[in-house]
Amino acid sequence: MRNPVKDNSASSLPARSAPGPFRYRAFTVLWIATVVSNIGGWMYSAASAWLMTTLNPSPVAVSLVQVATNLPTFLFALLAGALADIADKRRLLIVTEAFITLTSTAFAVLVWLKLITPGYLLLFTFLIETGAALTAPAWQSIVPLLVPRPALPQAIATNSVGVNISRAIGPALGGIMSASLGVAAPFWANAGSNLGSIAGLIWWRAPPSRPSHLPAERLLSAVKTGLRYAGNSRHLRATLLRATGFFFFASAYWALLPLVARDRIGGGPTLYGSLLGVIGAGAIAGAFALPRLKQKLGANGLVAAGTVCTAVALMLFGVARTTAPAIVASALAGASWIAVLSTLNVSAQFALPEWVRGRGLAVYMTAFFGATTLGSVIWGEIANLAGLPVAHFAAAAGALVAIPLTWRWRVQTAAGIDLTPSMSWPAPIVTGQVQDDQGPVMVTIEYRVRGGNREKFLVAIDKLSHERRRDGAYAWGIFEDTAERTRFIETFFVDSWLEHLRQHQRVTNADRVLQDHIHRLLDGEPKVTHAIAAERSPE
């Protein structure tokens, strides 16, 4: 099924001097396998949406296929992100891809035996996409394991090209297979397309990870940690807000395209698959234009321009009664989709250190698919009540209004920030043994601020508070001594001793730069004290 290595692509093609990712065999093998799998996934998507038009052609029913496609990622992405960060990514991918293959095969059997109903179609779509949702953060997280860091930008861009190749081929091939070999043919092809991914993952051996003396995080705790990080990372929050403002409105043409092809133009599955193929081809063309466009417009301008072009595409879909305007709209939609999607994805990647990358990307995907799912429901209902053109025009107007409303949240603001671990915090001093689950832990830091630096110190310590909360603190405060106005006490609380030890490993080089700036405002070194909740000894 569609592997999310593809769905969130790079913002631009990298410089020619960067090492090519195809020099690395592991990347090449898995790239080819995922392109084949993605072709099958797009065949399935196109065929299932068209199949619903024959089972129940109402706009609500057809839009529910898109809901069943996107809802699993909204529901399970956070869980999947935590699994990607704490479990063996390779094993997780093998098991989940096997589940997708078995479920896809069962669905193909039902279609082949003509036992499929609208309910079964939505159920199996939900199950298959649940498997895809569970693999999504892990697929994205293994890309840095396949190539060295200098080749990473080009590897992400190459994944973008690969997914759009599959998007251009898969729907059109699915339409041709449905028309010539029967409605079950693309579903059988999708079931078999995943076997290459499973074989490639079994063959691949991931490089050893950085050893840690701390035990692995528990699943629910890891989910909580990921949410806390996202809530306290202004760079990631800005990306999430911009993503929500775009995907909610852009979801309209994805949800309603089968009805445009069938009811407005009077075409069949071949036309629908061809329109999806044109969207993919437009995305490929847009990917090659991204470096030049980004250089001229910047990341924020590129998102705005892509949103404007999406609005134009929506209006063209709204007026389309023949094939020509629908083709133009599809090409424009594909190019603008890749421009916005890739820029937002890179913005999310820039905002995340390695230890929380899977969970952070899962939060981003939750926003992405949550907005798309909600949008699909709403635009389908509007189309049902007022007609397809009204739904498209309303979505276009909303997309244009969203540009000024979300402009203040800038994307890719973490591009120049070093989020690698600094390991700069010294180990806490303890007398006796402290159990991992003991807590809560109170950490206090005493500062002696040099005269005249009070305001600079308070500004800097406020920025540092986000790092404390982001990496594990659930409460934070800064206090000024009423008897000695140059003496300040910073206090923060962490759930357990183990969680505080993890804080030591999460401090980044960017955090260290801020801490060094604070130290330059002081007289002497800060004094750090650790205290743990006292408990009575058992009698």
DSSP string of 105-167?
HHHHHHHHTT---HHHHHHHHHHHHHHHHHHHHHHHHHHHHHS-GGGHHHHHHHHHHHHHHHH
What whole-number distance in Å separates Cα of residue 370 and Cα of residue 368? 6
21-207+216-406 CATH choice from 1.10.287.370, 1.20.1250.20, 3.40.718.10, 1.20.140.10: 1.20.1250.20
Residue 4: strand, helix, or coil: coil
| pLDDT for 249 | 95
| pLDDT for 64 | 84
| pLDDT for 492 | 94
Cα 282 from chain centre? 22
Give 5's pLDDT tier (boundaries 50, 70, 90).
very low
| pLDDT for 215 | 63
Of 120 and 12, the one with more pLDDT:
120
Tokens of 317: 């879909």
* CATH 1.20.1250.20 segments of the chain: 21-207+216-406
pLDDT at 3 over 50: no
Domain 441-532 has CATH 3.40.50.620: no
Cβ–Cβ under 8 Å, residues 487 and 448: yes
Give 292's pLDDT tier (boundaries 50, 70, 90).
confident
* CATH 3.30.70.100 segments of the chain: 441-532
Lowest mean pLDDT among 24-33, 284-293, 507-516: 284-293
Lowest mean pLDDT among 27-41, 140-154, 327-341: 140-154
What whole-number distance in Å separates Cα of residue 136 and Cα of residue 73? 8
Backbone dihedral region of 9: left (phi > 0), alpha (psi from -120 to 50 degrees) or beta? beta
pLDDT over 90 percentage in the chain: 32
Helix or strand (DSSP H, E) at 526? none
What whole-number distance in Å separates Cα of residue 273 and Cα of residue 176? 8
Of 294 and 110, the one with more pLDDT:
110
Give 238's pLDDT tier (boundaries 50, 70, 90).
very high
As a whole number, mean pLDDT of residues 121-125 equals 92
Q: Give Cα separations from 91 to 110, 139, 202 (angstroms).
A: 29, 12, 9
What's the chain's average pLDDT? 84
Of 338 and 308, the one with more pLDDT:
308
As a whole number, mean pLDDT of residues 493-500 equals 89
